[in-house]
Structure 1
């Protein structure tokens, strides 16, 4: 799951910024680079919001805020999925990620999750993306430029509060030098990218809203224990297991 979510986060930040890099200097760029490198993007949100509030025409800060909030939505989703052991016993999951990454990503002591909690998880994801969308809307037609080295990107994908080498997702897509270290992967962002990312965020919100628009409790009871090992469902009850007597 870590690698899967990491690739989604990286795609959301880099796939629309692969045009020729544009030099961009300023406080917004420095803040974004700093907190992306240390894996504290929640703190980047606070700092960029403060910077944007000081001057409503600071499009760089507004763009940075939209980027950070989009990435933060995925980070929070990753943390929630890890908490509930998403994919820990799914053969299809291991086939998709490969055995080694899936072993690393497994949560061997997941929390139980109910149908209602899963719906809440989706609702939170929608709300987080909506906040990001509003930040990107504020960029408008104002010129904005940011330049970021994504090779240093780190995310607290499992929510343990510790950002170590296993959280260095920038190494997944960056080239390596002779010593095995990630080489800089510089990406330029501008106002057009804000509109692209808005479309991306809205597409994902639409998918999540489609799930929430109907009652899928029957599917939950019949099959979701495949991807959530401690899913509280009629199937788990029929198998004689509940959240308290579960063992991995």
Structure 2
């Protein structure tokens, strides 16, 4: 969400970038919602390794991945209980979504959900590889794209209605605290000060291709962690709250009596407890779990490469992430030389944690938790027992343990905003 928020917040500066033929092609298909046709038009250039074509194909691929996931959730009547932001992103189940909740969802079973996640993961992997190509050595382009105009077919009906845009989803989600006052008002409203403008253009360049490659790799690693486990018990115990009409075992079991408050509230609390109780996943793909440290190291390597490209830039065309001499699109979040140096130092610390050279502290033990050993040899992941300590025992060892001093540079440069910068910088 913060990734999309950073992109949607780019309405502060006058447009200075000029579109190339590839940029115009990308924009036209993104704005029309014709993702497949756009990728087909760029496929030859992408296959030939042309960075601009690679970036355009990847951006459409990322849009297609999000569209496909939204359509799968709609197919099974998905919603996001008590999580309006996620529901609005998927266009389901909350006030003023792009599409309404599916009135006749299909039945959902655990293998089908794994297929949904696997398809999304595959789409992300394809986009990620093309983003890397878009940031190849020597690439030099700026593609102006107004992400707020991007259209997605959220409900899979074969059309993109006027309200099925990222603007409809993002602007109500982000609110006044994140979106600048000059942003277009969501759903025709005018809550913000000043005249609304219909422009959320960003100038995407090779550095942004690498940034997006890192983000898609990071999301993919998290999906791989989940897919390396069997989470069917959790699916049966809790996910009727996400897919309330898809025929899951506890559908409609909201209680006829009360324990503490009222039947609905007590049933909701009981489901949360059941969900926590079933956060005990056996590992079913050890090789996939063991691949995650390398994937995370690729993320940190891409972030280093991203900053090499950012620091080499001399223009100032609506930068997603600026260097210290460029203009930040986020009010109150300047990028300084000290901040860049601190982030690079933070990447070194993260690599040490991923490699098991720097251990994670555990509240119960003097020894540290070896993250690399967990990924390499875990037989199951019981989050409750890991927190309690019993399941952490096999992964404890002596050695340096990460503490506040390990992240002193980041804390000094960013202060309380460190998490926000981390989401932004990737």
TM-score computed with the length of structure 2 as normaliser: 0.47
The Cα shift of 1:238 comes to 8.4
Partner residue of 2:227 out of 212, 216, 229:
212
SS in 2 for 1:92: coil
SS in 2 for 1:165: coil
Superimposed CA distance per residue, residues 183-221 of structure 1 (whole angstroms, 9 cap, x where no aligned partner): 122210011101110111011111111111111111111
C-alpha deviation, 1:91, in angstroms: 4.5
Tell me if structure 2 keeps the 8 A contact 1:62–1:135: yes
Q: Identify which of 154, 160, 178 aligns with 1:157.
A: 154
1:15 to partner: Cα distance: 6.8
The 1:18–1:110 alpha-carbon spacing in structure 2 relative to 1, beyond 3 Å, is farther
For the structure 1 residues 151 and 94, does the alpha-carbon distance in structure 2 shift closer, same or farther, using more than 3 Å as the test?
Answer: closer
Asked if residue 129 in structure 1 is aligned to residue 119 in structure 2, the reply is: no
What are the superposed Cα offsets for residues 75-122 of structure 1, whole Å, 9 maximum, x if unpaired?
1111111111111xx642459759522595311111111000001111
Pairs aligned (count)? 229
Q: Is the 8 A contact 1:75 1:156 kept in 2?
A: yes
Which of the pair is proportionally richer in helix?
Answer: 1
Per chain length, whose mean CA-contact separation is higher, i.e. which structure has more relative contact order (CA < 8 Å, sep 6+)? 1
| 3-state DSSP of counterpart to 1:138 | helix
Offset, 1:42:
2.0
Which residue pairs with 2:165 in the alignment?
168
Match of 2:141 in 1: 144
SS of the residue aligned with 1:235?
Answer: coil
Check whether the contact 1:222–1:235 (CA below 8 A) recurs between aligned residues. Answer: yes
Q: How far apart are 1:20 and its partner, in Å?
A: 8.2
The 1:234/1:132 distance shift into structure 2, 3 A limit, reads: same
Please name the residue that 1:243 is paired with: none
Aligned counterpart in structure 2 of residue 225 of structure 1, from 220, 232, 240: 240
CA change 1:226–1:35 in 2 (3 A) is same
- CA, structure 1 residues 236+152, in 2 after alignment: closer, same or farther (shift >3 Å)? closer
Aligned to 1:118: 113
- 1:38 is aligned to 32
Whole-angstrom CA distance in 1 between matches of 2:60 and 2:237: 37
Deviates further, 34-43 or 92-101: 92-101
Q: Which residue of 1 aligns with 2:209?
A: 194
1:92 corresponds to: 82
Q: 1:244: which partner in 2? A: none
TM-score scaled to structure 1, two decimals? 0.78
C-alpha separation in 2, matches of 1:16 and 1:137 = 23
Counterpart-to-counterpart distance in 1, 2:200 and 2:82: 32
- Per-residue CA deviation, residues 114-138 of structure 1 (Å, 9 max, x unaligned), is 0000011111111000000111121
Larger Rg: 2
Q: SS at 1:188's partner residue?
A: strand
Secondary structure (helix, strand or coil) at the match of 1:85 reads coil
Gaps of 5+ in 1: 1-6, 240-248
Counterpart in the other structure of 1:245: none
2: CA distance between counterparts of 1:13 and 1:41? 19
Question: Which stretches in structure 2 are left out of the alignment for 5+ residues?
Answer: 172-182, 191-195, 255-426
SS at match of 2:145: strand
